[in-house]
Structure formats: C-alpha cells, structure tokens
Structure 1
Amino acid sequence: MDRAAPEGLSCRKGAVLDAKIWNKLPEELLERVLLYVPLQTLARFRCVCTKWNKYVLEDGFTDLREQVSPQKPWVVMTSTSNSMFAYDSGLGTWHDVPIPFNAYNLHVVAAAGGLLCFSNAWFHGPSMFVCNPMTQKWRQLSPMNTWMISTVGMVYDDATATFKVLVCGRLENHTMITEVYDSQSDGWTLSGTPFPARKYGGDTSLWCDGIFYCLTYPFSTLCLLSYDLSQGTWREVPIRMPSPIMSPSLVESRGKLLLVGGLEEQEVFGIQIWSLDTVKQEWEELERMPSQLCKEFEAKMVPSKPLSCFGTGDSIFLSIPTNNYMPALMFDLKRRTWDWWPVSDFPATLPAVNIGQSCGISFEPRLNAYV
C-alpha cells in the first residue's frame, strides 16, 4: 500500500518524516499510534487511504480505543451557518468544527451516540438535520407534522446503528402531538398523547435507561415527565421535586438521572446536584457547589438569563449565558472536582440564535456513529 505520512506527527519541530520508514510501519505499531491520536486528527487520517479509513471505523479498533484513551465529552456552545464552536473537555481546548450543510437559523437541539440534531425548533414549520461532525456525514429528516416544537430528544442504538428522534409539540390549531422519527424507515410516526402544552418546559428531552425525561413549565409547578418509547406513552413521574429550585436541568450520567439547579436559602445562593433513586422514588443530594465558587458564579450571572446546565458521561457543565464570553464551571463526577473552563480562544461574539435558547449541549464525538 502506498501510504502517505500522517500529518502532524514529528519527533521535533520542523522535522521531515522519512517516507521510506513510515511506508513500512508494522500494522501493530500503526494501531498503537492511532489509539492515542486525538480524535480530530484521527478523523483527518481517514483521508490518507481507503485502508486507513476502513481501519479506524472497525468495531475492534474503536472498542480498543475506548479502553486505552476514552473520549471525554465535547460541548457545543454556539454555531453559525458554516461551523460550530465546541469545547473539548479532554484536551481543554476549543474547536471550530465545520457543519457539512447550510445551517442558517439552525442550532443544536439534541445529541446522542456521537450524532448531533440541528433544527430551527423555535420557528413555525421546523425542519431537522442530523450529522456526525467527525465524519461530516449528514441527512435532512423527512418533514414532520409538528408546527411548533415544545421539546425534542434523541437516542442512538449501537446494535443496529440507527437513531430515533422524539418531538413533542403542537399543530397549527394548537392540538398537542408526539412524533418519533426512525432513521431506518426515514419516517415519522405519531405516538402517544402528550400532556397540555404548558407542561413542557425544556428544549431537550433526556434519554436515560430506556426512557425520555423532561421537566415541566412553569418551574413554580415543577414535576418530572417521562415518555416510554416502546409503549408510546407519557406519564407524570410520582416523585416529590426539590423546592424551590432555580433554573432546574436534567442530566444523564452512566445510566443515572441527575437534577441540577440553584437554591436560595436564607438569602444565600447555592447550586446543588441530586440523583434519582429509582427504588425509593426520591431525589437524593449528591453534591453541593463549594460556597466560594457559588459566590464567584453568582457574581457573573445575568438576572434576565439564568444558568444553563448540561452534561454527559462523568462531566456536568454549568454555564452563564451572555452576549460574549460564556463563563462555565465543569464538575467531574468521578473526581468530585470543580474547574472553570478556559477563557482563551472563546469566540468574540455569539450568534443571536443561540442567546436565550440552547446555551450548550454536550455529546461524545465518535467516528463510528452512522447517519
């Protein structure tokens, strides 16, 4: 095989790689190198030759890479019609990632299995696109019946390499409907009767242990709703919610459902994380943000734009929407540590379509997520 030398690999600055050596690199050594290469670089390596492209997409390689150098989540914070800005929590850097279609007036509304779902969800007659930003593969979903979206969710099935998108909203006559898109059939199916429109409070429905979850609106009457995809039914989960709670958000972590929000007790602001005990059917306190960090976080908050929370894997992110730099704290569930993400390289301004709507969504980028 006439193999080109991989871009970006050198023993010192300015060194030229000897093609005679790299063209004869043993397969086992090549595998070891690729196991530790950053994901974005690995995505570029796919263009070297057909064999490399096939190799990095094989299940055996991707499984081994997950064991050797597990991919930490990225956070998509903002997007334009051409690209999106994402934070790589593993490398602690920002990436400007191209969008393979015209995303004018679109923004990310859901993520699952390495795929991102884009939509103009806050416009009448919404449309949807799903893409893998690492492979630049994408598809536009067939038209839906929903005229105005209330909440949207997404799930990816590794066994079948297919995905489904849940949309709950209303028709033009204000009738509430639920639709589910199946990538295998490339079509929408009406499924389940939703609750009244005022019930749905968040942009995103969260997938956890086979069920979609979302919170109600207004948050003064906070409760937890669930949608069983296999049964096509909605229900209100009979569980007492912490009260009062400011800017509540749901987060999924390793099969567990978490609730994050602000509390104000005796005029002292705090941020707390709860975990859902499915046996006792109650929220149990998992973590509280240290008081000094809470003071720093509160000082950066904008009254008209409450905090936004999202997460995946072992990471939870709490951001403060602003018109320029968006401060955010990261909480590592394994290490139980808090850190501010870096200020440098953040975009100078944020597109208006993101302000007051989705203020961040996290996902785990993958090369073997198929659109």
Structure 2
Amino acid sequence: MDPRIWSKLPPDVVEHILLLLPLKTLLNLRSTCKAFSSLLFSPSFVSKHSPSSSSSSSPFSSFLLLSHPQCPLYFRLYDSNLSSWRTVSPSLPFSSSFSLASSSGGLFCLLNPSSSSFIRFQGFHAVLSDSCLQQGTFFHGGLYFTTPEPFSVVRFDLESGKWERHVAELPPQLTFVRLVSDDDGEGKLYLVGGIGADGICRSMKVWELTSDGVWVEVVALPEIMCRKFVSVCYHNYEHVYCFWHEGMICVCCYMWPEILYYSVSRRSWDWLPKCPYLPLKCSCGFKWFSFVPKLYASV
C-alpha cells in the first residue's frame, strides 16, 4: 500500500485491518514501528484478536447520520462512542440530484428520483398511505407497516409475496403509531405511539410485542420532553419517523434537526446534542439514518 494512504487511515481502521491478519504476521510486524508494537500487545487488541472473542463485535464507531437537501454533498455524522460530531464529504461520482435514501449493512443507498423505478405490490394499496414518509420495518421475514386511522398493522411476507393484517390489538387512544425492530439479534418489535384525543398528543409511549402477540407497555416519555416533541411536530405527526440504532429507539421529525432517543438497556430518554455544522437557516427535510461501517459489506 502507498505509505501516503496508509498514514492517512484513521486509527480504528488500521486496528481493524490488523485484526484480520494471522498471528504469525502480527509477530513479524512488531519491529515495524513503536506504534504497531504498542498496539499489538495492548489488552484491548489482544482480546479482540482472541478466537474466543465475538465475531459480530465491531471495533468501528457507530454513527447517526444526518442528511439535508440544502447540503446534498455533505453528511453530518454523530459518533455514538465518542459523543462528537464530524462532517464528511464522500468522494463519490454523484451530483446534487441524488439523495440519501437509506443506510444498512455498512452501505449507503443513493436515490436519483429522475431515473428510479419501483415495483408496486398489489393488495393493500388502498390501506397504506401514499405518503413518501411511509416506511416498512423488517421483522421475522416480513415488512411491517402501520396504516392511517383507524390504525392497524399490516405485514408483507417477503417469501410468499402476500399481504396480511396483523391481529394484535393496538393500544387505545392513539394519535400516531410507528414501528421499530431491533437489529441486534434479539428479534423484538416495538411500537412507538402518541396517546391523546382529537388528534392532539398528550403523551408518548413505547410498547413491545410479546411472543403471545400482545402489545405490552415498556416506557412512557416524561411529560416535559413530550411537550417539547409535540411543539416540534406542530401536531403534524406524518413527519414523525423512527428507527433502531445500536440499542436505541430513535424518534425523529423531518421538521426538526434533533433526535429524541430511548436507550433500551439504560431505560432512559434523552435528546441528541444538536449538530453545530448545520446552516443557521436550515429548513425542514432532516433525514436521520443509522450507519455502522463495515469493511466487508455484501451488495
């Protein structure tokens, strides 16, 4: 490798590359430089290189990625491990006509609206909203969607290609509903919903779907945080979307540049620090994604 390229690699990338090498090669690298010698015998590196260590663990940081139409060629990344922001400008051959559509498995999916084509699955076109904000949640071999009022959950089976309505009864007095599934291997489906009347959200709660097919309440959002979130949305809950990120349920709004998140392990709510790199007059269109880099990402 060109030494100029090697010297510019971030330390976590260098460490991950070394983790892929066999032990004999690592021992030969001891005399290369003091930095390598110190790293190779550090307790953290030895534990990661150990055969007993989990192959699913990643030495990379995980990021919350913010995309905005006013800055199409720049991504704002929040490092979940270091609790810090950074700005990245990908060196990719695309123009401002492309937008970031999704992030999964260490890959970005870029969308060109002028040249994209989609397959429309028949069966529930009259039930699902045509809103571009409608997103499916993958869980147990299917895509789960929530319908407009009267709220319900429908599922598209990816193997059979058929739609079916989920039979679990939803909690009462819902003003909006969103679905989130964890991708940490535990196989849990969560429902995030507002509780109120006449379309006005007075509280927000999270439920978990049990093995018996019943929604069980997990936690409620504190009142003061709920007031802020409702004021951000202006009671327009179509702009609310949710996703899973490294043990957190993230609740976002296209109108607001902040993330409200619930840590499942700590059982606590919090706001993500506001990005300092956004333009002062940044309007709506804030799109957040979970991004976990991988050296080997299958396409």
Fold in common (TM above 0.5)? yes
* Partner residue in 1 for 2:22: none
Distance 1:332 1:280 in 2: 24
Task: Indicate the SS of the match to 2:164.
Answer: strand
Distance 2:231 2:201 in 1: 13
Task: Please report how far the alpha carbon of residue 343 of structure 1 lies from its aligned counterpart in structure 2 after TM superposition.
Answer: 2.4
Task: Indicate the SS of the match to 2:75.
Answer: strand
Distance 1:285 1:268 in 2: 17
Give CA-to-partner distance per residue, 1:15-38, whole Å, 9 cap, x none. Answer: xxxxx97636557834859959xx
* Partner residue in 1 for 2:278: 347
Task: Indicate the SS of the match to 1:294.
Answer: helix
Distance 1:195 1:5 in 2: 54
**Gap change, CA 1:6 and 1:336, over 3 Å in 2:** same
Tell me if the contact between 1:82 and 1:101 (Cα under 8 Å) persists in the aligned partners.
no
Alignment counterpart, residue 88 of structure 2, candidates 92, 97, 108: 97
**Gap change, CA 1:213 and 1:351, over 3 Å in 2:** farther
Question: Which amino acid is the alignment partner of residue 345 of structure 1?
Answer: P
Give CA-to-partner distance per residue, 1:282-340, whole Å, 9 cap, x none. Answer: 21111111122223333444344643322233111223433xx6132221110112222
* Partner residue in 2 for 1:150: none
Tell me if the contact between 2:177 and 2:191 (Cα under 8 Å) persists in the aligned partners.
yes
Task: Please report how far the alpha carbon of residue 8 of structure 1 lies from its aligned counterpart in structure 2 after TM superposition.
Answer: 7.0
Distance 2:84 2:165 in 1: 40
Unpaired stretches in structure 2, ≥5 consecutive residues: 12-29
Tell me if the contact between 1:92 and 1:341 (Cα under 8 Å) persists in the aligned partners.
no
1:227 equivalent in alignment to 2:156: yes
* Partner residue in 1 for 2:258: 327
* Partner residue in 1 for 2:196: 264
Task: Please report how far the alpha carbon of residue 351 of structure 1 lies from its aligned counterpart in structure 2 after TM superposition.
Answer: 7.0
Aligned-pair identity (%): 22
Distance 1:314 1:268 in 2: 26
* Partner residue in 1 for 2:292: 364
Question: Which amino acid is the alignment partner of residue 311 of structure 1?
Answer: W
Task: Indicate the SS of the match to 2:145.
Answer: strand
Distance 1:349 1:228 in 2: 44
Task: Indicate the SS of the match to 2:226.
Answer: helix
Question: Which amino acid is the alignment partner of residue 205 of structure 1?
Answer: G
* Partner residue in 2 for 1:337: 268
Alignment counterpart, residue 114 of structure 1, candidates 106, 109, 126: 106
**Gap change, CA 1:221 and 1:265, over 3 Å in 2:** closer
Question: Which amino acid is the alignment partner of residue 298 of structure 2?
Answer: Y
Task: Indicate the SS of the match to 1:370.
Answer: coil
* Partner residue in 1 for 2:79: 88
Normalized against structure 1, the TM-score is what? Answer: 0.59
Task: Please report how far the alpha carbon of residue 360 of structure 1 lies from its aligned counterpart in structure 2 after TM superposition.
Answer: 2.1
Distance 1:84 1:222 in 2: 34
Distance 1:106 1:351 in 2: 19
* Partner residue in 2 for 1:310: 243
* Partner residue in 2 for 1:29: 39
1:282 equivalent in alignment to 2:292: no
Distance 2:110 2:221 in 1: 32
Distance 1:71 1:5 in 2: 19
Task: Indicate the SS of the match to 1:221.
Answer: coil
Task: Please report how far the alpha carbon of residue 227 of structure 1 lies from its aligned counterpart in structure 2 after TM superposition.
Answer: 1.9
Task: Indicate the SS of the match to 1:199.
Answer: coil
Distance 2:208 2:278 in 1: 34
Distance 1:33 1:96 in 2: 31
Task: Please report how far the alpha carbon of residue 73 of structure 1 lies from its aligned counterpart in structure 2 after TM superposition.
Answer: 4.5
Normalized against structure 2, the TM-score is what? Answer: 0.72
Residues 172-187 of structure 1: matches in 2 within 5 Å?
177-178=120-121
* Partner residue in 2 for 1:76: 66
**Gap change, CA 1:284 and 1:31, over 3 Å in 2:** farther
Task: Indicate the SS of the match to 2:190.
Answer: strand
Unpaired stretches in structure 1, ≥5 consecutive residues: 10-19, 37-57, 128-143, 147-167, 169-176, 179-192
Tell me if the contact between 1:213 and 1:227 (Cα under 8 Å) persists in the aligned partners.
yes
Tell me if the contact between 2:87 and 2:277 (Cα under 8 Å) persists in the aligned partners.
no
Task: Indicate the SS of the match to 1:262.
Answer: strand
**Gap change, CA 1:21 and 1:343, over 3 Å in 2:** farther
Tell me if the contact between 1:78 and 1:85 (Cα under 8 Å) persists in the aligned partners.
no
Supply the RMSD in Å over aligned alpha carbons: 3.9
Distance 2:296 2:109 in 1: 16
Question: Which amino acid is the alignment partner of residue 286 of structure 1?
Answer: V
Distance 1:29 1:315 in 2: 31
* Partner residue in 1 for 2:134: 203
* Partner residue in 1 for 2:170: 241
Distance 2:233 2:215 in 1: 26
